[in-house]
């Protein structure tokens, strides 16, 4: 059996940096990665229009000053190919590929109480043991394949936005059906519509979307930021969502403004573009009435963009805005003004089945050459639940998390010593800029391992009381906001049968402060042995 000091699962941004840090500590490490290259999310999500919704100068590593100075981003929001190039560049620069086993999917990770080692087995029959296992498996890495009757019978081309082929897909002259209207659909629909002869979108729930206002980056702006990069990074760490410090954020309350002031403020944030529309006022995530005003502002914009009022109405959400992740688009609503684009509201005419030639709703059969599932992911716990992870006494993680994930700090869970998660459930993760969140977790894990070694200790595992209190805390924070008021993937509500538990923790700075306090108090809440 192979043996390493540490095994990392996944070679996305989390796994890559984890490997780098563990090597710096002198730990022999192997990374198992299912794909043929690094990049994680950005390796798999290659659908047309895939682009980050956090600005490129911020959605990048900050651990190495030379790296952040030398890499050149071309647009305000980088496209998937550019982000993947960046990941490859980082892999080359730090020679990471030497310790990554590609095309290798982890099947199980089993702890031995006698030896204190974890044995990791891959689908390819590789078997390796190590004291430390770090799951860098991503928050949005397992596609949600909807269970639609007759799904297998469709004879045309089938795609999932989260598993897009590596070869170019050409929709020219084809009849295309897209199922779903989340971020992935909202980014890809305008581009698919330009190629397809006919595009039909099946919408279950309309989504709020603001213009991304993407544009090439000016050299002056890049120079300005790079001259004081650290300053921007530090200011970002003080933001609740961990990014956006260089744009105005208004902590004033929408409810305390006159209508004119409010509209002007919304308009400024709308024009600025992107997710920071939510920073227009301080009460938009907390107060239903304030939230409704933001929602109505966006609905007005949708009505102004879509020529057919009836269609505009169908595309207008009536739920709490920001409760699902806000989408950022480039011409999404305008696309419905095209003659070759049709919207099918499946609340009015439900999908009955997928047929050999297309989609049958309660009133018609829509024939397609290609079907695109833009149906999202089994978020945050999906990747972990697909690995057979067994801790003390052979207990599976799946069994432990039957009623929802339980972690301490989103980093570890009781009964699974030395098994770490990067941006696991119960950590800020998806409610922040992922890159700094990843860096903070990786550094916490690397420091904890170094601490164990320095103090001649073998294991770190949360105490039950600390985990219980943390689960309660994550819930309490969510309950103080409007987040739990809709059926989002944050709550697991998009996956039939998944327990309804708010998965991430809101508030990056408080979380980081808590982690620092835990360390300062000798890893308070963890049992070191």
- Between 45 and 121, name the residue whose CB sits nearer to ligand NAP: 45
Q: Which residues form the interface with ligand NAP (CB under 6 A)?
A: 51-53, 140, 146, 161, 179-185, 187, 204-205, 325, 328, 374-377, 489, 494
Closest approach, Cβ 192 to ligand NAP, in A, equals: 14
Please state the separation of Cα 450 from the chain's center in Å. Answer: 29
Closest approach, Cβ 101 to ligand NAP, in A, equals: 27
Closest approach, Cβ 311 to ligand NAP, in A, equals: 17
> Can you tell me the distance from the alpha carbon of 211 to that of 270, in angstroms, rounded to the nearest whole number?
7
Closest approach, Cβ 226 to ligand NAP, in A, equals: 23
DSSP 96: G
Closest approach, Cβ 188 to ligand NAP, in A, equals: 9
Determine how many CB atoms are found less than 10 A away from the CB of residue 338: 13
Closest approach, Cβ 3 to ligand NAP, in A, equals: 37
- Between 101 and 191, name the residue whose CB sits nearer to ligand NAP: 191
- Between 460 and 491, name the residue whose CB sits nearer to ligand NAP: 491
> Can you tell me the distance from the alpha carbon of 510 to that of 348, in angstroms, rounded to the nearest whole number?
44
Closest approach, Cβ 337 to ligand NAP, in A, equals: 21
> Can you tell me the distance from the alpha carbon of 160 to that of 373, in angstroms, rounded to the nearest whole number?
5
Is residue 118 helix, strand or coil? strand
With the CA atoms of 15, 20, 22 and 24 taken in that order, what torsion angle do they form, in degrees rounded to the nearest 10?
Answer: -170
> Can you tell me the distance from the alpha carbon of 31 to that of 50, in angstroms, rounded to the nearest whole number?
26
- Between 301 and 324, name the residue whose CB sits nearer to ligand NAP: 324
- Between 50 and 254, name the residue whose CB sits nearer to ligand NAP: 50
Closest approach, Cβ 59 to ligand NAP, in A, equals: 9
- Between 180 and 507, name the residue whose CB sits nearer to ligand NAP: 180
Nearest Cα neighbor of 105 from 312, 383, 366 is 383
- Between 79 and 109, name the residue whose CB sits nearer to ligand NAP: 79
Here the tokens at position 496 are: 């039939």
Do 356 and 480 contact (CB within 8 A), yes or no? no
Here the tokens at position 80 are: 């998937």
Beta partners for residue 79, in sequence order? 51
User: Beta strand pairing status for 118-122 and 127-130?
Assistant: antiparallel
Closest approach, Cβ 8 to ligand NAP, in A, equals: 23
CB crowding 296-315: b at 16 or more within 10 Å, else e: ebbbebbeebbeeeebbebb
Nearest Cα neighbor of 285 from 252, 316, 323 is 323
What is the 3-state secondary structure of 368-380? CCEEEECCCECCC
> Can you tell me the distance from the alpha carbon of 415 to that of 250, in angstroms, rounded to the nearest whole number?
44
- Between 25 and 158, name the residue whose CB sits nearer to ligand NAP: 158
- Between 149 and 173, name the residue whose CB sits nearer to ligand NAP: 149
Q: Is 525 left (phi over 0), alpha (psi -120 to 50) or beta?
A: left
Please state the separation of Cα 275 from the chain's center in Å. Answer: 14
| Residue nearest ligand NAP (C-beta atom) | 182
Closest approach, Cβ 529 to ligand NAP, in A, equals: 38
- Between 119 and 188, name the residue whose CB sits nearer to ligand NAP: 188
Beta partners for residue 342, in sequence order? 200
101 phi and psi angles, rounded to 5 deg: -100, 110
- Between 122 and 427, name the residue whose CB sits nearer to ligand NAP: 427
Closest approach, Cβ 257 to ligand NAP, in A, equals: 29
């Amino acid at each position: 059996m192979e043996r390493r000091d540490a095994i990392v699962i996944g070679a996305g941004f989390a796994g890559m940096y984890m490997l780098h840090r563990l090597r710096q500590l002198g730990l022999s490490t192997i990374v198992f990665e299912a794909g043929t290259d690094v990049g994680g999310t950005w390796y798999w999500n290659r659908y047309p229009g895939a682009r980050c919704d956090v600005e490129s100068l911020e959605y990048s590593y900050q651990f190495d000053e030379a790296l952040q100075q030398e890499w050149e981003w071309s647009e305000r929001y980088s496209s998937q190919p550019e982000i993947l190039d960046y990941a490859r560049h980082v892999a080359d620069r730090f020679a990471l590929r030497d310790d990554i086993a590609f095309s290798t999917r982890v099947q199980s990770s089993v702890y031995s109480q006698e030896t204190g080692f974890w044995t990791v087995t891959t689908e390819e029959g590789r078997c390796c043991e190590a004291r430390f296992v770090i799951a860098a498996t991503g928050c949005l890495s397992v596609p949600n394949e909807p269970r639609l009757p007759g799904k297998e019978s469709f004879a045309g081309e089938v795609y999932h936005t989260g598993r897009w082929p590596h070869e170019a897909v050409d929709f020219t002259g084809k009849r295309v059906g897209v199922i779903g209207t989340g971020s992935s659909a909202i980014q890809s629909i305008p581009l698919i519509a330009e190629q397809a002869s006919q595009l039909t979108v099946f919408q279950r729930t309309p989504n709020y979307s603001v213009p991304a206002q993407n544009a090439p980056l000016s050299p002056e702006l890049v120079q300005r930021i790079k001259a004081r990069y650290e300053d921007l990074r530090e200011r970002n760490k003080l933001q609740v969502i961990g990014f956006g410090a260089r744009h105005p954020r208004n902590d004033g309350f929408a409810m305390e403004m006159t209508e004119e002031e409010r509209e002007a403020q919304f308009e400024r944030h709308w024009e600025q573009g992107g997710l920071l529309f939510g920073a227009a006022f301080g009460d938009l995530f907390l107060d239903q009435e304030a939230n409704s005003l933001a929602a109505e502002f966006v609905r007005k914009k949708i009505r102004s963009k879509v020529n057919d009022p009836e269609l505009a109405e169908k595309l207008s959400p009536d739920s709490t805005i920001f409760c699902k992740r806000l989408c950022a688009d480039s011409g999404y609503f305008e696309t419905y003004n095209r003659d070759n684009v049709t919207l099918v509201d499946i609340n009015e005419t439900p999908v009955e089945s997928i047929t050999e030639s297309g989609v049958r709703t309660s009133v018609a059969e829509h024939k397609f050459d290609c079907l695109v599932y833009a149906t999202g992911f089994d978020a945050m716990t999906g990747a972990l639940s697909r690995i057979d992870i067994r801790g003390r006494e052979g207990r599976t993680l799946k069994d432990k998390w039957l009623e929802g994930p339980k972690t301490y700090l989103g980093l570890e869970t009781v009964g699974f010593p030395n098994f770490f998660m990067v941006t696991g459930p119960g950590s800020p993760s998806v409610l922040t800029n992922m890159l700094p969140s990843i860096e903070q977790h990786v550094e916490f894990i690397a420091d904890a391992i170094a601490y164990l070694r320095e103090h001649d200790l073998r294991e770190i595992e949360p105490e039950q009381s600390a985990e219980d209190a943390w689960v309660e805390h994550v819930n309490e924070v969510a309950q103080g906001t409007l987040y739990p008021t809709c059926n989002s993937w944050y709550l697991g509500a998009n996956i039939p049968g998944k327990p309804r538990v708010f998965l991430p923790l809101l508030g990056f700075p408080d979380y980081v402060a808590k982690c620092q306090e835990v360390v300062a108090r000798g890893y308070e809440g963890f049992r070191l042995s």
